[in-house]
Chains A and B, each alone.
Chain A
């Protein structure tokens, strides 16, 4: 919360320093600061509306997208949290833009809400991470046929390099697959401008529009100039468009869908004209011997490495501008295509009968950076001869450090006091097959816990547990494990299916009352949403849902009580029924940081048997002596929040509570 607060404040407190003399500027900053603190919620709005004509801001791509959406008069903005897209909606909800901004239960439902809004003649925005668009792909594919009424923009944030994802699929392919036009910003200014533009294109061409970013666009800050105002609430609420039916447009039964497919194909032709002529795609001629065709973040790396080259920068990257490309190819001698992940541009250009090189020099996996782009351009011969010299980095021939390989890697880990810890520790001891899922608890798969055997898609756990248990390939009972937000997202359906098909496994729901991995977003089980910090509905009770399904054995445990956790899990696994275990402890980070106030220490006599360190708790560490020798007896450092799990795990009772009187 603090971080969010800071980031919001931080982004808007900047004001064009050139406009004011320094003394005035200083007092202006203090004034803004006071306004902000005096009126936390509307401070941003005040600032934006007062300085309507010009504000220079340092924004992340996600902040800029939110601002662009607000400027475009988005009426409904929905999504499901997923890195790197998660900050767009919270940021938008902080702007007083009159928009309805909410988390949905999953991406499919979110897109469907956006579609309904569009049918109601209002502008709608749907945000998702790349894999979330798979979940929403069913409505997406047919939405491409129906088209829209109010503008509809799908923001997909891809994750090349998989900073926080299970795959690195290239969602540009969705635009071609679904015949939906796509915009690709390359910095925060473009995020802001293109988001607004996307709504105009959507309405002009009667089509949803994909705005595709990547981690390096969404999570990089760059300078963006905001001008204009948010449309006033009255304008958003205008009801000049009264709902009417149009079944030929929105009822996709075969007879109408066939017609709409033709419409979509015809629309694509008009979009190619737009792609050629709108100015979104542009040519910068420099040295005509070397040309680069690129889009998104790759454009920035290429400009850094080869500023001398001629550029065809693709911002409207589907459908591609055939005429511009032909022009560029005619005028420039050696051309390479620089694109992260799939050879999307390369294959599209090849379909025009023009063979250009790209993936011959650049990898098809992983995230790019300036060094990869440099090495690719070197291979492509951009720095052969004396004409252009590759920028060598500083004289580091004598540079001797190369100890990185001797450093232990520092994997992400469950937090100190994380309630998931004891469940995974117990599962490890019970040696059962564990079908896992996606969330913080995926970290239970890493050493030293090593207690999760799969992580493939959101909501996989219970389906995979049913399938695995059918095979009888393990003589132990199978476990399916997921978190509360994932349960709502897509775990419920699989659990109903398990009951329906008489499956036999133990379903564990790690309920920490938040969507933790993505930063603590609300979900139906918290009863709150972005539109309000207050409880807006009754919390939807996971236990009651499971009871409603008809599962009779349901255990609710406190994971801070390790002994009870172990016993209960063992009991659930000994029973041959489909049963459920729900853990009931809040996340230690969200919505607020938890410290129980209790303190523990490892007492004298500990022989360093390692058991407590097998929890992976970051607060239990091995100390180092001055001479470099390792002291084998661990200690508990000050980051301990007093969950007491390690005390229960130490069978020798060497971990004791420090009494604080």
Chain B
């Protein structure tokens, strides 16, 4: 956990593209010539469960897992998961880039008298809790930006673009990495989305 080591945690819901985002970010870090380790989740959790990918890069990395409260940055595709993982991995200095939207866990439902099971926290109060706790918090309306670009699927790339500002990785490496990791037909769209995210801050 030397000073120069970056610990990036990506979180979201299984099937949302957390693994692909992890690939792009780790690829970019690797291209920059740093030692790197990542840890991914496969299998059961990919079925809509809460998932995370750990990425650590720097001079020399041993553990592929980020220690408790040790994330330098968190990238999240769902605001509920932002809260869940911030609680465990963030500290007050952690940079958080998150979607401002979230998906209620599917099985959560009402009881017969109309009240909601669980002491449920809605996305607006989650946003205010996050604002109270973190100096560097970015909540992006990634879905809206993506829609304006004409494809809701690039919302992840927009968030990666926003996160990229906080890394020491050069812009050209990011762009090259995106080129090699997305389908050829969508390269322009994804590059566009990345730059939109990067310029949004």
Closest to B132 in A: A400
B-contact bits for A521-541, CB 8 A (1 contact / 0 none): 000000000000000000000
Say yes or no: A223 contacts B114, CB within 8 Å: no
Residues of B within 8 A of A164 (CB): 42-45
Given the contacts A219-B40, A400-B132, A404-B87, A614 and B109 also touching, CB distance less than 8 Å? yes
Given the contacts A10-B23, A17-B31, A519-B42, A399 and B109 also touching, CB distance less than 8 Å? no
Say yes or no: A394 contacts B49, CB within 8 Å: no
Q: CB within 8 A of A14: which of B30, B68, B129?
A: B30
**A369 CA / B126 CA spacing, docked (Å):** 28
Say yes or no: B36 contacts A222, CB within 8 Å: yes
Verify if A448 is at the interface (C-beta below 8 Å from B). yes
Q: Which residues of A contact B (CB under 8 A)?
A: 2-3, 6-7, 9-10, 13-14, 17-18, 26, 29, 33, 37, 58, 60, 83-84, 86-87, 163-164, 187, 216, 219-223, 297, 300-301, 303-304, 369-371, 374, 391, 393-396, 398-404, 406-415, 440, 443, 446-448, 517-519, 608, 610, 613-614, 616-618, 620-622, 624, 626-628, 630, 632, 637-638
Residues of B within 8 A of A403 (CB): 83, 87, 121, 126, 129
**A60 CA / B44 CA spacing, docked (Å):** 18
Given the contacts A222-B37, A401-B133, A413 and B45 also touching, CB distance less than 8 Å? no
Verify if B13 is at the interface (C-beta below 8 Å from A). yes
Verify if B194 is at the interface (C-beta below 8 Å from A). no
Closest Cβ–Cβ distance, residue B22 to chain A (whole Å)? 8
Verify if B59 is at the interface (C-beta below 8 Å from A). no
Say yes or no: A412 contacts B46, CB within 8 Å: yes
**A398 CA / B134 CA spacing, docked (Å):** 11
In this complex, the interface size class of chain B, counting residues with CB under 8 Å from chain A, is 35 or more
Given contacts A222-B37, A396-B91, 6 further A-B contacts (CB under 8 A): A6-B23, A303-B63, A398-B92, A399-B90, A613-B107, A622-B108
Q: CB within 8 A of B47: which of A18, A412, A617, A620?
A: A412
Residues of B within 8 A of A391 (CB): 1
**A535 CA / B126 CA spacing, docked (Å):** 51
A-contact bits for B41-75, CB 8 A (1 contact / 0 none): 11111111110000000000111111111100000
Say yes or no: B92 contacts A301, CB within 8 Å: no
Closest Cβ–Cβ distance, residue A77 to chain B (whole Å)? 19
CB interface residues, B 126-184, toward A, < 8 Å:
126, 129, 132-133, 152, 172, 176, 179-181, 183-184
A contact patch SS: loop
Given the contacts A9-B180, A406-B119, A222 and B64 also touching, CB distance less than 8 Å? yes
Between A and B, 27 residue pairs with Cβ closer than 8 Å are A10-B180, A14-B31, A18-B33, A187-B37, A220-B38, A220-B64, A221-B37, A222-B37, A369-B67, A393-B69, A393-B70, A393-B91, A401-B90, A401-B133, A406-B119, A407-B83, A410-B48, A410-B81, A410-B105, A413-B48, A448-B109, A610-B110, A616-B107, A617-B106, A620-B106, A626-B124, A628-B125
**A37 CA / B180 CA spacing, docked (Å):** 10
Residue among A10, A14, A408, A610 with the most chain B CB within 10 A? A408
Say yes or no: A613 contacts B30, CB within 8 Å: no
CB interface residues, B 1-46, toward A, < 8 Å:
1, 13-15, 19-20, 23, 26-27, 30-31, 33, 35-46
Closest Cβ–Cβ distance, residue B166 to chain A (whole Å)? 16
**A318 CA / B90 CA spacing, docked (Å):** 40
Residues of A within 8 A of B61 (CB): 222
**A632 CA / B67 CA spacing, docked (Å):** 39
Residues of B within 8 A of A408 (CB): 104-105, 108, 117-118, 120
Verify if B100 is at the interface (C-beta below 8 Å from A). no
Closest Cβ–Cβ distance, residue A203 to chain B (whole Å)? 32
Say yes or no: B83 contacts A414, CB within 8 Å: no
Say yes or no: A517 contacts B43, CB within 8 Å: yes
Q: CB within 8 A of B64: which of A300, A614, A638?
A: A300
Closest Cβ–Cβ distance, residue B59 to chain A (whole Å)? 13
Say yes or no: A3 contacts B20, CB within 8 Å: yes
Given the contacts A401-B129, A518-B43, A395 and B91 also touching, CB distance less than 8 Å? yes
**A401 CA / B84 CA spacing, docked (Å):** 10
Closest to A622 in B: B104
Verify if B98 is at the interface (C-beta below 8 Å from A). no
Residues of B within 8 A of A374 (CB): 67
Closest Cβ–Cβ distance, residue A445 to chain B (whole Å)? 12
Closest to B23 in A: A10
Given the contacts A391-B1, A396-B92, A621 and B106 also touching, CB distance less than 8 Å? yes
Say yes or no: B43 contacts A370, CB within 8 Å: no
Residues of A within 8 A of B62 (CB): 300-301, 303-304
Say yes or no: A394 contacts B30, CB within 8 Å: no
Say yes or no: B180 contacts A409, CB within 8 Å: no
Say yes or no: A6 contacts B122, CB within 8 Å: no
Verify if B123 is at the interface (C-beta below 8 Å from A). yes
Say yes or no: B88 contacts A84, CB within 8 Å: no
Closest Cβ–Cβ distance, residue B103 to chain A (whole Å)? 7
Q: CB within 8 A of A412: which of B49, B91, B123, B152?
A: B49
Say yes or no: A221 contacts B87, CB within 8 Å: no
Closest Cβ–Cβ distance, residue B154 to chain A (whole Å)? 15
Q: CB within 8 A of A406: which of B1, B33, B114, B121?
A: B121
Say yes or no: A219 contacts B42, CB within 8 Å: yes
Residue among B23, B61, B64 with the most chain A CB within 10 A? B64
Say yes or no: A395 contacts B80, CB within 8 Å: no
Closest Cβ–Cβ distance, residue A88 to chain B (whole Å)? 12
Say yes or no: A83 contacts B180, CB within 8 Å: no
Say yes or no: B47 contacts A414, CB within 8 Å: yes
Say yes or no: A84 contacts B42, CB within 8 Å: yes
Say yes or no: A394 contacts B91, CB within 8 Å: yes
**A243 CA / B88 CA spacing, docked (Å):** 60
Residues of B within 8 A of A616 (CB): 106-107
Say yes or no: A33 contacts B49, CB within 8 Å: no
Residue among B50, B109, B183 with the most chain A CB within 10 A? B109
Closest to B112 in A: A610
Residue among B36, B108, B119, B181 with the most chain A CB within 10 A? B108
Say yes or no: A223 contacts B109, CB within 8 Å: no
Closest to B17 in A: A3
Say yes or no: B123 contacts A624, CB within 8 Å: yes
Residue among A222, A393, A610, A638 with the most chain B CB within 10 A? A222
Say yes or no: B110 contacts A608, CB within 8 Å: yes
Residues of B within 8 A of A402 (CB): 87
Closest to B103 in A: A621
Residues of B within 8 A of A400 (CB): 132-133
Given the contacts A616-B107, A630-B120, A517 and B33 also touching, CB distance less than 8 Å? no
Say yes or no: A394 contacts B64, CB within 8 Å: no
Say yes or no: B1 contacts A304, CB within 8 Å: yes
Say yes or no: A413 contacts B68, CB within 8 Å: no
**A554 CA / B23 CA spacing, docked (Å):** 46
Closest Cβ–Cβ distance, residue B78 to chain A (whole Å)? 9
Closest Cβ–Cβ distance, residue A116 to chain B (whole Å)? 30
Say yes or no: A407 contacts B45, CB within 8 Å: no
